[in-house]
Amino acid sequence: MPAETTLVMIKPDGVKRGLCGEILSRFERTGLKIAGVKLLILSRELAAEHYGEHSGKHFFDSLLDYVTSGPTLVLALEGPNAIAVVRKLMGSTRPEDAATGTIRGDFALNVDKNLIHGSEHDFDAKREIPRFFTNSELIRWDWNGEDKDAA
């Protein structure tokens, strides 16, 4: 089965609460591999571009305030069905609707601070990943446990 790559962002509340390791380990335990990782503070411009589909909605400005309020851990994760695996592990956007055992179900405080973003579809992943990573910053895995560029 061919691998796909998806974007995951552990938002400022997850970073501030020290949940990066727990969240990342949940993804790794499913077999997903880290293809890229960065810790950064999103500029308002980058955040507005990333969440552009919400522009004009009543919560857009507060969303931008939230995602630019502190460090965000940005990940490119690779694996078979990576997008679906990440979406399932994240749980519902609304924590009160998220199942126990999902990241949001276990850790999110409310819909405004829901810890994590993941690409919704392949089209989104292909648009989102280059926003944060150049090709040279990404590792491509061969799915035998070694990266394709390793000597």
User: CA-CA distances (angstroms) from residue 75 to 55, 97, 125, 151?
Assistant: 24, 25, 11, 24
Catalytic residue among 50, 54, 117, 121: 117
Which positions ≥6 away from 113 have C-beta within 8 Å? Answer: 11, 13, 66
Which runs of E-coded beta strand occur in the chain?
3-10, 33-40, 72-80, 116-118
| Gap between the Cα atoms of 42 and 140, Å rounded | 25
Catalytic residue flag (residue 117): yes
- 3-class secondary-structure state, position 34: strand
Give the dihedral of Cα atoms 50, 115, 147, 135; nearest 10 deg. 10
Active site members: 117
